[in-house]
Amino acid sequence: MKKLLVLLMVLLSVCSAAFAESLEDVLKDCKLDRSRWKVVEWFKAEKFVRLYDSQTVTVTGPGQFDAVIMDYYYDGDCGKDSCKFCKNRHYHSEKWGFDTTKAIGILRSFDTRDLDGNVVDSYNYPAKMQIASSLKRNSTEAKTMQKIKEPLKNNKDFAAVSKGSTSDTAKKSEQRPKIKGLVPMPMAIGAIDGEWTYMGRYISQRGFQTFNEFENQLVSYTGSAEVEGLYDVYYHHEHYGNGEGRGCLAFKMGGGDGPRWQPEYACVLKIIPLNRNGMRVDESGTKFGTMLLSMGGYSRPGRYSLIVQRVRIFDNVTHQLLVENSDYKNLNGEYQSYEEAKNFRVGPNSPFSKAMEMSNCPLQPYDISLGYG
């Protein structure tokens, strides 16, 4: 009987502890001003609470607003390997633009904060990278949009919405016929979109082991038929200065054939995956992410020198940074001689070569004598 009573007391104690956790319990260490930061939802399974800053919600048009949201990870584990505070209680903050009539959202910036609210990591998306994404009905962002929308109903600027509700818009979208054939390119080749110059549509012909190989085997696609493996490609280049995407030099090199000028070039490629119709893929994950490849180098007889210096991949839906890699071996593979690396030569039709051609570099002489024979 005594053992049974002890077991019953232990069971009651465990049950009490399990049911004692409440929203106030998990927010007891949260240092946000609760009169300002309003709860959107408590995501128990993921162990975080989403809040929004009620004082900075800004109406930007009929049915549209900008808002700052904060995810408080009270258990510490945010599930992001790149997060510096993955094992400690911390916050992830994001600024979004929402359009309730079209059910779309645009991520404008994000940051990571410690428990005291100090920003330890942040990123502001350039205007040209703030891409609108459709919000699925039961997604976290859709729930956030609906929660913040409620207090704005009496705002005249927000309420002046054209006829048609979010649900109506969604129904119309579902009724649209499926697209057949290849859609036109987003702009003319050579057209400038902010800091990016459009290079056209490219296709991946085969698998690849490194990003260097991936870039070199992309070729321009000028067909009109639906096809897998399509990308829209842009480049960013500056003639002067050091760093990613900058630099036009001409090295004076000696040798048995006499001195010659050897060009060197650097750029950043933006490679956007497309579906077989030539439209951007509206899915999350590294497979569908927008890639930024920072590249530089040159080729000359007897030596391979094109290098992928850094790769970043951004989620196609949330636009968050998913991958950042600057490991030479991982991006370029084992060092090989030029003859052994035929598949890795700077291809004349690759985006890098095309960007070098389109940049019209005013090559700056840099006199060195390397003595190649």
C-alpha–C-alpha distance, residues 292 and 196, integer Å: 11
CATH class of 23-167: mainly beta
Q: What is the pLDDT of residues 75-85, one digit of tens each?
A: 888 877 678 78
Q: pLDDT band for position 147 (50/70/90)? A: very high
C-alpha–C-alpha distance, residues 167 and 165, integer Å: 5
**Where are the CATH 2.40.128.710 domain residues in the chain?**
23-167
Out of 37-51, 213-227, 245-259, least confident range: 245-259
Give pLDDT, residue 213.
81
Give pLDDT, residue 207.
65
Give the dihedral sign, CA 127/132/138/139.
negative
Give pLDDT, residue 176.
45
Q: What is the pLDDT of residues 312-353, one digit of tens each?
A: 998 887 788 888 888 877 787 765 544 444 444 566 778 988
| pTM of the shown model | 0.51
Beta-carbon count within 10 A of 175 CB: 7
The answer on pLDDT for 365 being more than 50 is: no
Out of 112-121, 122-131, 196-205, 301-310, least confident range: 301-310
β strands within the chain, DSSP E: 37-43, 48-53, 58-61, 64-73, 90-99, 104-113, 119-124, 133-134, 192-193, 196-204, 218-220, 230-236, 248-253, 260-273, 290-297, 307-314, 321-325, 364-367
Q: Which residue has the tokens 């309003």?
A: 38
